[in-house]
Amino acid sequence: MSLTHVVLFKLKDRSPEAVERTAAVLRSMEGNIPQLRSIEVGVNVVPSPRAYDIALITRFDSLADMEAYQVHPFHQGVLAHMREVMESAVAVDYLT
């Protein structure tokens, strides 16, 4: 079984440039965190009041690996950026 971690971000600045800059920061985790098995970053293309700006989908071999990812220094740097730019976020974690 593997664990999928999905986070949706709503940004303070929703301009295409700001959204793409933040998507690039999220994508930068690929290859830099050993426990991260796969990463997908999607930018919303259908604007609406209920829409979020960016979807982050990450996969791990186990809950322990996701917990190690959460405290990894590279991820902590990304989190610092996200705290500055996000208005809100929601998450779901599930086993497959």
Q: Hey, where are the domains in the chain? A: 16-95
Look up residue 78 and give its DSSP letter.
Answer: H
29-42 average pLDDT score:
98
- Per-residue model confidence as pLDDT tens digits over 67-84: 999 999 999 999 999 999
CB 72 within 8 A of CB 33: yes
Among the CATH numbers 3.20.20.150, 3.30.70.100, 3.40.50.300, 1.20.1050.10, which is that of 16-95?
Answer: 3.30.70.100
pLDDT above 90 for 1: no
CA distances from 2 to 36, 59, 61, 63 (A): 11, 7, 5, 8
Q: What is the mean pLDDT of the chain?
A: 97
CA distances from 12 to 9, 22, 39, 74 (A): 10, 11, 23, 23
Residues in the chain: 96
**Which residues are CB-contacts of 28 (< 8 A; sequence separation ≥ 6)?**
78
